[in-house]
Amino acid sequence: MEWHDRGYILATRKHGESALIVSALTENRGRQAGLVRGGAGRRKRGGLQVGNLVTLDWRGRLPEHLGTLTTEVLEAPAAALLDRPLGLAVLTAACAVAEALLPEGEEHPAIYHGLAGLMAVLDEPEQGVLLGSAYVQWEMGVLGELGFGLDLTACAATGETENLTYVSPKSGRAVSTAAGRPYHDRMLPLPPFLRGPGVAETTEEAVAGLKLTGFFLENHALEGRPGRLPARQRLTDRFAAKK
Protein backbone atom coordinates (compact mmCIF):
# COMPACT_ATOMS: atom_id res chain seq x y z
CA MET A 1 0.00 0.00 0.00
CA GLU A 2 1.26 3.45 -0.91
CA TRP A 3 -0.18 6.93 -1.03
CA HIS A 4 1.04 10.46 -1.59
CA ASP A 5 -0.49 13.62 -0.17
CA ARG A 6 0.40 16.84 1.58
CA GLY A 7 -0.56 17.95 5.04
CA TYR A 8 0.13 19.90 8.21
CA ILE A 9 2.09 18.20 10.98
CA LEU A 10 -0.10 18.07 14.09
CA ALA A 11 2.07 16.18 16.56
CA THR A 12 5.19 14.07 16.87
CA ARG A 13 6.41 11.61 19.45
CA LYS A 14 9.68 9.76 19.73
CA HIS A 15 9.80 6.07 18.82
CA GLY A 16 12.90 4.14 19.75
CA GLU A 17 16.24 5.88 19.65
CA SER A 18 15.95 7.99 16.52
CA ALA A 19 12.53 7.60 14.86
CA LEU A 20 9.44 9.78 15.20
CA ILE A 21 5.78 8.89 14.87
CA VAL A 22 4.32 11.82 12.97
CA SER A 23 0.62 12.70 12.90
CA ALA A 24 -0.54 15.00 10.10
CA LEU A 25 -3.78 16.44 8.78
CA THR A 26 -3.68 15.61 5.08
CA GLU A 27 -5.59 17.31 2.31
CA ASN A 28 -7.32 14.18 1.00
CA ARG A 29 -7.03 11.47 3.65
CA GLY A 30 -7.82 13.19 6.94
CA ARG A 31 -5.57 12.69 9.92
CA GLN A 32 -2.86 10.13 9.24
CA ALA A 33 0.14 8.83 11.16
CA GLY A 34 3.38 7.22 10.10
CA LEU A 35 6.90 6.41 11.22
CA VAL A 36 9.71 8.68 10.05
CA ARG A 37 12.99 6.85 10.40
CA GLY A 38 15.70 9.15 11.73
CA GLY A 39 13.08 11.82 12.38
CA ALA A 40 14.50 12.65 15.81
CA GLY A 41 17.95 13.25 14.36
CA ARG A 42 19.44 16.67 13.71
CA ARG A 43 19.10 16.44 9.94
CA LYS A 44 15.34 15.78 9.85
CA ARG A 45 14.10 17.24 13.12
CA GLY A 46 13.77 20.83 11.86
CA GLY A 47 11.51 19.78 9.00
CA LEU A 48 9.12 17.93 11.30
CA GLN A 49 8.01 20.81 13.50
CA VAL A 50 4.34 21.09 14.45
CA GLY A 51 2.55 23.31 11.93
CA ASN A 52 4.87 22.62 9.01
CA LEU A 53 3.21 21.90 5.66
CA VAL A 54 4.93 18.88 4.12
CA THR A 55 4.55 16.35 1.35
CA LEU A 56 3.90 12.86 2.68
CA ASP A 57 4.77 9.57 1.01
CA TRP A 58 3.35 6.66 3.02
CA ARG A 59 4.16 2.97 2.58
CA GLY A 60 2.84 0.01 4.55
CA ARG A 61 1.62 -3.55 4.17
CA LEU A 62 -1.98 -2.76 5.08
CA PRO A 63 -3.87 0.56 5.51
CA GLU A 64 -4.46 -0.10 9.22
CA HIS A 65 -0.74 -0.66 9.88
CA LEU A 66 1.67 2.03 11.04
CA GLY A 67 3.46 2.63 7.77
CA THR A 68 6.64 4.54 7.11
CA LEU A 69 6.62 8.17 5.99
CA THR A 70 9.03 10.25 4.02
CA THR A 71 8.41 13.97 4.04
CA GLU A 72 9.56 17.15 2.36
CA VAL A 73 8.91 20.63 3.75
CA LEU A 74 6.74 22.96 1.70
CA GLU A 75 6.17 25.67 4.32
CA ALA A 76 7.53 26.16 7.83
CA PRO A 77 5.29 28.76 9.52
CA ALA A 78 6.49 28.07 13.07
CA ALA A 79 10.00 29.24 12.24
CA ALA A 80 8.63 32.59 11.04
CA LEU A 81 6.64 33.09 14.24
CA LEU A 82 9.42 32.90 16.81
CA ASP A 83 9.12 36.65 17.45
CA ARG A 84 5.29 36.58 17.33
CA PRO A 85 4.23 34.57 20.37
CA LEU A 86 0.50 35.07 19.85
CA GLY A 87 0.63 33.75 16.30
CA LEU A 88 2.71 30.78 17.46
CA ALA A 89 0.19 30.10 20.24
CA VAL A 90 -2.66 30.09 17.67
CA LEU A 91 -0.75 27.65 15.45
CA THR A 92 0.03 25.34 18.36
CA ALA A 93 -3.54 25.37 19.67
CA ALA A 94 -5.08 24.66 16.25
CA CYS A 95 -2.79 21.69 15.66
CA ALA A 96 -3.56 20.33 19.15
CA VAL A 97 -7.32 20.62 18.56
CA ALA A 98 -7.11 18.82 15.21
CA GLU A 99 -4.93 16.09 16.73
CA ALA A 100 -7.29 15.54 19.66
CA LEU A 101 -10.60 15.64 17.79
CA LEU A 102 -10.14 14.17 14.33
CA PRO A 103 -10.52 10.41 13.94
CA GLU A 104 -7.66 8.83 12.04
CA GLY A 105 -8.39 8.21 8.37
CA GLU A 106 -11.66 10.19 8.26
CA GLU A 107 -11.62 12.73 5.45
CA HIS A 108 -12.23 16.35 6.42
CA PRO A 109 -11.08 18.57 3.54
CA ALA A 110 -13.03 21.56 4.92
CA ILE A 111 -11.05 21.42 8.17
CA TYR A 112 -7.79 21.11 6.24
CA HIS A 113 -8.55 24.11 4.02
CA GLY A 114 -9.81 26.06 7.01
CA LEU A 115 -6.51 25.39 8.76
CA ALA A 116 -4.66 26.53 5.66
CA GLY A 117 -6.62 29.78 5.74
CA LEU A 118 -5.81 30.23 9.41
CA MET A 119 -2.12 29.65 8.75
CA ALA A 120 -2.22 32.35 6.07
CA VAL A 121 -3.04 35.10 8.59
CA LEU A 122 -0.44 34.11 11.17
CA ASP A 123 2.39 35.95 9.44
CA GLU A 124 0.43 39.20 9.19
CA PRO A 125 1.49 41.98 11.58
CA GLU A 126 0.25 40.71 14.92
CA GLN A 127 -3.26 41.88 15.64
CA GLY A 128 -4.80 40.12 18.61
CA VAL A 129 -8.48 40.47 17.74
CA LEU A 130 -7.90 39.45 14.11
CA LEU A 131 -6.04 36.29 15.09
CA GLY A 132 -8.51 35.49 17.85
CA SER A 133 -11.48 35.94 15.53
CA ALA A 134 -9.93 33.81 12.79
CA TYR A 135 -9.13 31.07 15.26
CA VAL A 136 -12.64 31.03 16.76
CA GLN A 137 -14.18 30.91 13.28
CA TRP A 138 -11.96 27.92 12.45
CA GLU A 139 -13.08 26.12 15.61
CA MET A 140 -16.70 26.86 14.72
CA GLY A 141 -16.05 25.09 11.42
CA VAL A 142 -14.41 22.14 13.19
CA LEU A 143 -17.41 21.74 15.49
CA GLY A 144 -19.76 21.87 12.53
CA GLU A 145 -17.77 19.28 10.56
CA LEU A 146 -17.80 16.88 13.50
CA GLY A 147 -21.55 17.18 14.07
CA PHE A 148 -21.48 19.61 16.97
CA GLY A 149 -22.25 22.80 15.04
CA LEU A 150 -23.79 25.80 16.79
CA ASP A 151 -27.03 27.23 15.41
CA LEU A 152 -26.80 30.99 15.85
CA THR A 153 -29.44 31.98 13.30
CA ALA A 154 -32.52 32.32 15.53
CA CYS A 155 -33.64 32.09 19.14
CA ALA A 156 -34.25 28.52 20.24
CA ALA A 157 -37.21 29.61 22.40
CA THR A 158 -39.01 32.22 20.29
CA GLY A 159 -37.62 31.94 16.77
CA GLU A 160 -36.73 35.64 16.62
CA THR A 161 -33.57 36.59 14.77
CA GLU A 162 -32.74 39.84 16.57
CA ASN A 163 -31.20 40.55 19.98
CA LEU A 164 -29.46 37.18 20.19
CA THR A 165 -27.09 37.42 23.15
CA TYR A 166 -26.85 33.90 24.60
CA VAL A 167 -26.11 30.32 23.56
CA SER A 168 -27.73 27.35 25.25
CA PRO A 169 -25.00 25.09 26.68
CA LYS A 170 -27.19 22.05 26.04
CA SER A 171 -28.46 22.60 22.51
CA GLY A 172 -25.81 24.94 21.08
CA ARG A 173 -28.59 27.22 19.80
CA ALA A 174 -28.82 30.97 20.15
CA VAL A 175 -31.18 32.52 22.69
CA SER A 176 -32.53 36.08 22.69
CA THR A 177 -31.96 38.56 25.48
CA ALA A 178 -35.55 38.39 26.68
CA ALA A 179 -35.88 34.61 26.53
CA GLY A 180 -32.53 34.02 28.21
CA ARG A 181 -32.77 36.62 30.97
CA PRO A 182 -34.38 34.28 33.55
CA TYR A 183 -31.58 31.76 32.95
CA HIS A 184 -28.71 34.14 32.25
CA ASP A 185 -26.47 32.56 34.90
CA ARG A 186 -26.70 29.23 33.03
CA MET A 187 -26.28 30.62 29.53
CA LEU A 188 -23.10 31.18 27.53
CA PRO A 189 -22.53 34.71 26.16
CA LEU A 190 -22.80 35.01 22.38
CA PRO A 191 -20.11 37.44 21.14
CA PRO A 192 -21.50 39.79 18.47
CA PHE A 193 -18.81 38.98 15.88
CA LEU A 194 -20.18 35.45 15.50
CA ARG A 195 -23.51 36.93 14.41
CA GLY A 196 -22.22 39.86 12.39
CA PRO A 197 -18.98 41.06 10.83
CA GLY A 198 -16.87 37.99 11.62
CA VAL A 199 -14.11 39.95 13.39
CA ALA A 200 -14.22 40.87 17.06
CA GLU A 201 -13.99 44.54 17.94
CA THR A 202 -12.29 44.00 21.30
CA THR A 203 -10.07 41.47 23.01
CA GLU A 204 -12.90 40.77 25.47
CA GLU A 205 -15.11 39.77 22.56
CA ALA A 206 -12.43 37.44 21.20
CA VAL A 207 -12.03 35.84 24.63
CA ALA A 208 -15.81 35.29 24.81
CA GLY A 209 -15.59 33.52 21.46
CA LEU A 210 -12.75 31.32 22.68
CA LYS A 211 -14.69 30.41 25.81
CA LEU A 212 -17.80 29.60 23.77
CA THR A 213 -16.14 27.23 21.31
CA GLY A 214 -13.96 25.86 24.11
CA PHE A 215 -17.03 24.86 26.10
CA PHE A 216 -18.44 22.81 23.23
CA LEU A 217 -15.06 21.29 22.39
CA GLU A 218 -14.55 20.12 25.97
CA ASN A 219 -18.12 19.12 26.86
CA HIS A 220 -19.46 17.81 23.57
CA ALA A 221 -16.75 16.96 21.03
CA LEU A 222 -14.41 15.58 23.72
CA GLU A 223 -17.32 14.16 25.73
CA GLY A 224 -16.51 16.03 28.92
CA ARG A 225 -12.88 14.95 29.18
CA PRO A 226 -11.24 18.12 30.52
CA GLY A 227 -7.54 18.82 30.34
CA ARG A 228 -7.06 17.28 26.91
CA LEU A 229 -6.13 20.60 25.28
CA PRO A 230 -3.53 22.42 27.40
CA ALA A 231 -2.19 24.32 24.36
CA ARG A 232 -5.64 25.71 23.73
CA GLN A 233 -6.06 26.73 27.37
CA ARG A 234 -2.74 28.57 27.19
CA LEU A 235 -4.01 30.44 24.14
CA THR A 236 -7.19 31.49 25.96
CA ASP A 237 -5.15 32.57 28.98
CA ARG A 238 -2.84 34.62 26.74
CA PHE A 239 -5.79 36.48 25.21
CA ALA A 240 -7.41 36.98 28.60
CA ALA A 241 -4.19 38.53 29.91
CA LYS A 242 -4.35 41.14 27.11
CA LYS A 243 -7.76 42.47 28.22
pLDDT more than 90, % of the chain:
81
Residue 169 lies in a domain: no
Residue 65 lies in a domain: yes
Domain tally, the chain: 2
Residue 133 is part of which domain span? 81-152+190-241
Model pLDDT for residues 69-99, shown as the tens digit of each residue = 999 999 999 888 888 889 999 999 999 999 9
Classify each residue of 134-149 as buried b or exposed e, where b means 16 or more C-beta atoms within 10 Å of its C-beta. bbbbbbbbbbebbebe
Regarding whether 109 and 13 lie in a shared domain, the answer is no
Model pLDDT for residues 194-206, shown as the tens digit of each residue = 998 789 999 999 9
Regarding whether 116 and 32 lie in a shared domain, the answer is no
**Which of the listed residues 33, 56, 78 is the one where a domain comes to its end?**
78
User: If 0-12 CB within 10 Å is exposed, 13-18 middle and 19+ buried, where does residue 185 land?
Assistant: exposed
Regarding whether 121 and 197 lie in a shared domain, the answer is yes
Q: Could you tell me the pLDDT band of residue 38, with boundaries at 50, 70 and 90?
A: very high
**Which of the listed residues 20, 52, 78 is the one where a domain comes to its end?**
78
Contact between 220 and 87 (Cβ < 8 Å):
no
Question: What CATH number is attached to the domain comprising 30?
Answer: 2.40.50.140
Regarding whether 146 and 101 lie in a shared domain, the answer is yes
Regarding whether 131 and 194 lie in a shared domain, the answer is yes
Whole-angstrom distance, CA of residue 157 vs CA of residue 155 = 5
Residue 232 lies in a domain: yes
Regarding whether 141 and 51 lie in a shared domain, the answer is no
CA dihedral (106, 111, 112, 113) positive or negative = positive
Regarding whether 63 and 12 lie in a shared domain, the answer is yes
Helix-strand-coil split of the chain, %, nearest 5: 40, 25, 35
**Which of the listed residues 78, 100, 129 is the one where a domain comes to its end?**
78
- Residue 189: phi and psi, rounded to 5, are -65, 140
Model pLDDT for residues 157-185, shown as the tens digit of each residue = 999 999 999 999 999 999 999 999 999 99
∠ CA 188-190-195, nearest 5°, is 155
Q: Could you tell me the pLDDT band of residue 242, with boundaries at 50, 70 and 90?
A: confident
Regarding whether 194 and 86 lie in a shared domain, the answer is yes
Whole-angstrom distance, CA of residue 203 vs CA of residue 196 = 16
Whole-angstrom distance, CA of residue 159 vs CA of residue 243 = 34
Regarding whether 105 and 22 lie in a shared domain, the answer is no
Residue 47 lies in a domain: yes
- Residue 186: phi and psi, rounded to 5, are -105, -5
∠ CA 84-128-209, nearest 5°, is 130
pLDDT at residue number 50: 96
Regarding whether 229 and 109 lie in a shared domain, the answer is yes
